[in-house]
A and B are shown apart, each in its own frame.
Chain A
Amino acid sequence: MIEQSYLYGLVGGLIIGAAGAVYLLGNGRIMGASGVIGGLVDGSGLGEWRDRLLFIAGLVAAPWLALSALGLSAETNITSNPAVIVAAGLLVGFGSRLANGCTSGHGVCGISRLSLRGIAATGFYLFAGGVSVLLFKHILGVI
């Protein structure tokens, strides 16, 4: 018996991959969330501001529309500790831009291209993520 969450994960994953395929084959761009957002935030990608804004609009609006249409709700189960949220946000924003990619760009798009950089980046952030949960959850007990 396969757990239901695995099946949802697989189906959701296939849709995420389809999203990346549309972005690549349609626009010739790598679908990386940190790159799309970061290029607007720091002004380095303003030449394609329309593409970026429309991508973000779909990313924010589609889950909301789907939940509203089906009368469902979703939970992020995020911590309510503001210090943890701010620290995590700063680390995620800073690190993903320094590395030129996050889970979508390096992970989904990089691994599927057999990019050495994408595979290496994924190894590094999976390792650091595991250490982070070990440290902050099991050792320090802050999350």
Chain B
Amino acid sequence: MRGLFSLTSGSLFGLGLLISGMVDTSRVQGWLDIFGDWDPTLAFVLGGAIIPMAIAWRLSEKRRGPVAGGSFPARPAQRITPDLAIGSMIFGAGWGLAGLCPGPSLASLSFGGWEGLIFVGSMAAGMLLAVPAKRVRLASA
């Protein structure tokens, strides 16, 4: 059951990213390029995605738990930590530089050529580097 939901969700996510054009790095960079030829498509994608997701959050409040069992994710502490701010800005810098984020990098893996493979490999390396960085920050906190 869990596996079926995971496969369905990943497949829908990939199709949505493909149809929305978010696998096209020039579209993403066009959205971020407010001083150039600005492309507002990403706002439609984010706006569209928020609608079913907001309904899902409301439904989750009415249900006792997820269909496959377990419990719904608890609301995390609403604190804007340095890690959240610094990490998001580092992520954003890379997002602008190549026009790719984690979801689209995988959705385009089958047709993205060697460039896409190198991006995903580098992204995995960056994820590994974040482990000691977080540990150091926790120790100094």
A residues neighboring B (CB under 8 Å): 3, 5-31, 33-34, 37-38, 41-42, 44, 50-52, 54-64, 66-67, 73-80, 82, 84-100, 102-104, 106-109, 111-113, 115-117, 120-122, 124-134, 136-138, 143
Contacts and interface: CB of A to CB of B under 8 A. Distances in A.
Contacts of A6: 40-41, 44
Nearest to B122: A89
Nearest to B95: A129
* Most chain A CB neighbours (cut-off 10 Å) among B51, B106, B129, B134: B106
B141 interface: no
A93 B125 contact: yes
A56 B6 CA distance: 8
A131 B34 CA distance: 9
Interface of B: 1-27, 29, 32-36, 39-57, 59-60, 63, 65-73, 75-76, 78-80, 83-103, 105-113, 115-116, 118-131, 133-134
Contacts, number: 491
* Most chain B CB neighbours (cut-off 10 Å) among A33, A44, A50, A59: A59
B10 A57 contact: yes
B87 A99 contact: yes
B9 A19 contact: yes
B102 A95 contact: no
Contacts of B90: 91, 94-95, 98-99, 128
A31 B11 CA distance: 12
A12 B47 CA distance: 10
Contact of A37 (B41, B68, B106): B106
Given A6-B41, A59-B14, A60-B107, A133 B92 contact: no
A17 B5 contact: no
Contacts of A128: 88-93, 95-96
B6 A23 contact: yes
A56 B73 contact: no
B122 A58 contact: no
A33 B101 contact: yes
Chain A to chain B: the 10 pairs with minimum beta-carbon distance, closest first? A12-B20, A13-B48, A93-B126, A89-B122, A91-B94, A58-B10, A99-B87, A128-B92, A132-B96, A98-B87
Nearest to A122: B88
Contacts of A50: 2-3, 6
A25 to B, nearest CB: 6
